[in-house]
């Protein structure tokens, strides 16, 4: 039989040993800190390019034309 190795994982918030109940965190407090960071946008990845690799920033020159109104 193969032996299973038990690696001790560390809490990504405070670096203490993680608790199986709150895995990968060590406590409810650290899990809540992480959730608050996600909800506040702290973990957001900036997106400067669209899927085709182009720049998505809107400048006055790149705004779409406004359709003419019919009278």
| 28 occurs within a structural domain | yes
| 18 occurs within a structural domain | yes
| 16 occurs within a structural domain | yes
pLDDT of residue 18: 96
- Please state whether the predicted TM-score (pTM) of the whole model is above 0.75: no
Q: Is the pLDDT of residue 68 over 80?
A: no
**CA-wise closest residue to 42 among 5, 14, 13, 11:** 13
| 56 occurs within a structural domain | no
Containing domain of residue 32, as a range?
Answer: 9-41
| 48 occurs within a structural domain | no
| 69 occurs within a structural domain | no
CB atoms within 10 A of CB 13: 17
Q: How many domains does the chain have?
A: 1
| 66 occurs within a structural domain | no
| 58 occurs within a structural domain | no
In this prediction, residue 15 has a pLDDT band, given cuts at 50, 70 and 90, of very high
Q: Is the pLDDT of residue 65 over 80?
A: no
Higher pLDDT, 35 or 68: 35
pLDDT of residue 22: 95
Return the bridge partners of 55, or none.
49
pLDDT of residue 64: 61
């Amino acid at each position: 039989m193969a032996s299973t190795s038990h690696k001790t994982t560390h809490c990504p918030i405070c670096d203490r040993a993680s608790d199986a109940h709150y895995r990968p965190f060590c406590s409810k407090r650290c899990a809540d800190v992480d959730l608050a960071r996600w909800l506040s946008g702290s973990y957001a990845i900036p997106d400067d390019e669209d899927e085709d690799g182009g720049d998505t920033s809107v400048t006055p020159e790149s705004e779409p034309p406004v359709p003419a109104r019919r009278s």
